[in-house]
Structure 1
Amino acid sequence: MADIPIYKTLEEKSKLFEKNDFFVIDTKAQLDYWFEFYSSNFKKEHSVDFIFRGMSDAKYKLFTSAQRFWITDNMEQWKPNYEYKDFIEDLVSKAKANPLLRKIFDLYGYSNSERDFPLLSLLQHYGAPSPVLDWSYNINCAAFFAIDGVKRNLSAGNSIENYVSVYSIHKKKLHQKKELLSLLDIAGEIYPSITEFKNFGDEGNPNSNSLFILSDFETTTQIDYRGPLRVKTTKPVTSLYNQNIIPQEGLLMYNPFKDRPIENLFNVKMYSHGQNLHLEPFKCFNIHKDLSEYLRRLISTKHKIKKSLIYPHLYDDSKEIKEAVMNGIIR
């Protein structure tokens, strides 16, 4: 098995991200200031302008699950001339053949090609590898993922081993420059098949950085959407039959490359040819694991973000509703 590249130090990691005052958060005072600015006030003013991602280990690079499978299992050696994009096509093809998923998309009238990207959303959220990475419009959801299940390494001190990370991309600014587009911007109103994106992303060009987002909460980059999130398409690409995407206020980022993490795509030398985007480094906030329990209680008490919301089980919610009714009757 091959090792997935990681960051060895916070100093090494800092070279790939935008400089900011909160790159390292070591104290409660620093965390309170960061939380008040980004989590409380910022969200109210910029409901969908920014996107966020949380990671429970700061040392990990932003690889998709499909990339991790491809790299760690040396899948390039499994079959002659078998490429990473063949692997992605096979995942979608097998998902299409699943009787339950086929019945769902038949019921909602999705054509054969319209199923491909919605299937990637389901694969991503229910345990199968996919070439997309989860992001959220809500920094509190990202913070939850950063601290969920975190265990401090007592021997690591202030090394990178003892930090979680929250990432922030100014999506609106990039949209206005037409540098971070959605699937609808690229393909129009009809969702394309995954095979139509076989050549999307030039593996042979080290400075190619093609990517796009999948979201049901936006249409095109020309629309400055304000107000609470709502689905803005008649044929959802991420939220159809997916309980997770709505409470997580989620969207997905499609990375076509076999071994380039997302942050590398925001740090390329621009050429005048090829599939190149002008993507500048984005922000990263590294929070010491000593503060994880305090942060968990902050987002839970102030914003009601907790595991039962992020990972919904409607059986549990239905039981709570029944119990509330029964308890109300006897009062």
Structure 2
Amino acid sequence: MFVPLPQYASPSDKDSRYRQSLYIDNEQDLKKEIDNLLAHNDEFIYRGVYDARYKMFSSSQRLWFLDDPRMLRLGCTNYYDTIECLIKLAANQPDVQQYIQQNNLPFNDFLILAMLQHFGSPSPMLDFSNSVLKGLFFAIDNMPAWTDKGTNNLDDYVSLYYISRDIDWVNCTAQRVMENAAGDIDRLIKQSREANPSLPIDTKEVEDNIRFLRYHQFRPEFGNIFFLPVGGPDAGRVNINIPALNFHCDYLIVNDRLISQEGLFIFNNTKDIPLVEVMNSVCRVQYFHCINIRKHLVPEIVSRYLQPNSITHNSVYCIGHAASDQLQLVFDGI
């Protein structure tokens, strides 16, 4: 039986989830709010959605929730098993391996998840841009045909979401999790050796999981990791040190050679909870702001902000870029 994806039922339902929620119905207010964000562009990260009713589900959440064949055909009955299958399927593609090797990228599961997200395959990642203009682009990209009903319903609006770059992530970054795990492993190994110096300790799997950042280390059964920001210019490097193993590595989780929309990814590690609601619950603070823009203002967005800055579908998606085009063909089949 078909079960519809949960949506915001009304403006008041949506407004209650956000630190601030504005509704823009005319060009003057649009210019005021967007110009203000442009003046403070570097203070936030942005995500645009073409229907204000939509909650912030990842693509893999949406497809799993709706029993989409792209998830079901992998033959997994568990959501997290399905994500692992997607990672393996993508990582085993020769073109993906070649791209990673040629660009000297870190071959880890979070890079593969980022590539799945970027190229439109199911992924538990949500992408955010460092640019308010790119956020506006995604707010109107692929917007279906629409007629203003004149009722002020949420579906009469697109939404631009933004969140401070300097929020308290409650120590939830991929780097911090791995660094803390390395510290825990170091203490456990030292304790085991003190209790029984002759006890052999096989650490190869532990080292591989840390060095290559395996997704299954983040599965819910192994800890309370609900969301993680991954990548971006300020959140891309991890430093791992386990003195008991004489092990050290320092590397990027994702690399800026991966063609992206100038931003970062936020990994949602839940099966059926939207990102905003996850963060509201875990952080106990409403960090997200939302600007809901009436859809009849879309031509104004294009003419005033996108066209003068050459922000088009082809430029954002790197259409005509050989490596991007080739990888797109690969991920279209995943």
Distance 1:104 1:307, change over 3 A: closer
Is the alpha carbon distance of 1:124 and 1:315 closer, same or farther for their aligned partners in structure 2, counting shifts above 3 Å?
closer
Q: Does 2:273 correspond to 1:280? A: no
8 A contact 1:179–1:278 mirrored in 2: no
Give 1:110 shift: 6.0
Question: Is the CA contact 2:171–2:177 (under 8 Å) kept in the aligned structure 1?
Answer: no
The one-letter code of the counterpart of 2:230 is L
Number of residues paired by the alignment?
Answer: 277
**1:153 aligned residue:** 147
* Contact 1:201/1:256 (<8 A) preserved: no
Aligned with residue 237 of structure 1, among 254, 279, 282: 254
Q: Read off the aligned partner of 1:101 and give its amino acid letter.
A: V
Distance 2:88 2:55 in 1: 28
Aligned to 1:90: 85
**Cα distance in 2 between the residues matched to 1:234 and 1:216:** 13
* 1:186 aligned partner, one-letter code: V
Q: Secondary structure at the match of 1:172?
A: coil
C-alpha displacement of 1:115: 2.4
In the alignment, structure 2 segments of 5+ residues that lack a partner are 180-209, 238-249, 323-334
Alignment partner of 1:199 out of 200, 220, 230:
220
Tell me, what secondary structure is at the counterpart of 1:53?
strand
Residues 1:53 and 2:47 are matched in the alignment: yes
Residues 6 and 156 from structure 1, CA distance in 2 versus in 1: closer, same or farther, beyond 3 angstroms? Answer: farther
Which of 199, 203, 214 aligns to 2:230? It is: 214
CA drift at 1:281: 3.9
Correspondences of 1:1-331 after superposition (within 5 Å): 1-20=2-21, 23-39=22-38, 41-43=39-41, 47=42, 49-73=43-67, 82-107=77-102, 114-150=107-143, 151-155=145-149, 157-174=151-168, 178-179=169-170, 181-188=172-179, 190-199=211-220, 210-219=226-235, 235=252, 237=254, 239-240=256-257, 242-243=258-259, 245=260, 248-268=261-281, 276-314=282-320
CA contact (8 A) 1:210 1:277 kept: no
* C-alpha contact 2:232 2:263 (8 A) present in aligned 1: no
Q: Structure 2 length as normaliser, TM-score? A: 0.73
Secondary structure, counterpart of 2:159 in structure 1: strand
Alpha-carbon displacement from aligned partner over 1:144-201 (angstroms, at most 9, x marks no partner) = 1112243432335321111000001112132xxx526432232249451111112378
CA distance 1:145–1:196, change in 2 (3 Å): same
Relative to structure 1, is the Cα distance of residues 77 and 217 closer, same or farther in structure 2, using a 3 angstrom cutoff?
Answer: closer
Partner SS state of residue 102, structure 1: helix
For 2:150 and 2:272, locate their aligned partners in 1 and report how far apart those are by CA, in whole Å: 28
Structure 2 distance, partners of 1:108, 1:31, is 41
User: For residue 27 of structure 1, what is the amino acid of its counterpart?
Assistant: N
Structure 2 CA distance, aligned partners of 1:209 and 1:106?
Answer: 30
**Partners in 2 of 1:302 and 1:78 — Cα distance?**
43
CA distance in 2, matches of 1:71, 1:306: 31
SS in 2 for 1:135: strand
More strand by share: 2
Asked whether the 8 Å contact 2:59–2:123 carries over to 1, the reply is: yes
Contact 1:2 1:73 in 2 (8 A): no
Name the aligned partner's letter for residue 14 of structure 2.
K
One-letter amino acid of the structure 2 residue matched with residue 98 of structure 1? Q
Matched residue type, 1:17: Y
**Which shows bigger deviation, 212-221 or 292-301?**
212-221
Tell me how far apart the structure 1 counterparts of residues 146 and 37 of structure 2 sit (CA, whole Å). Answer: 24
5+ residue gaps, structure 1, are 203-207, 222-232, 269-275, 317-331
CA 1:262–1:109: 2 relative to 1, 3 Å: same
CA distance in 2 between counterparts of 1:218 and 1:312 reads: 23
TM-score, normalised to structure 1, is 0.74
Greater Cα shift, 155-164 or 259-268: 155-164
**Rounded Cα–Cα distance in structure 2 between residues aligned with 1:78 and 1:100:** 22
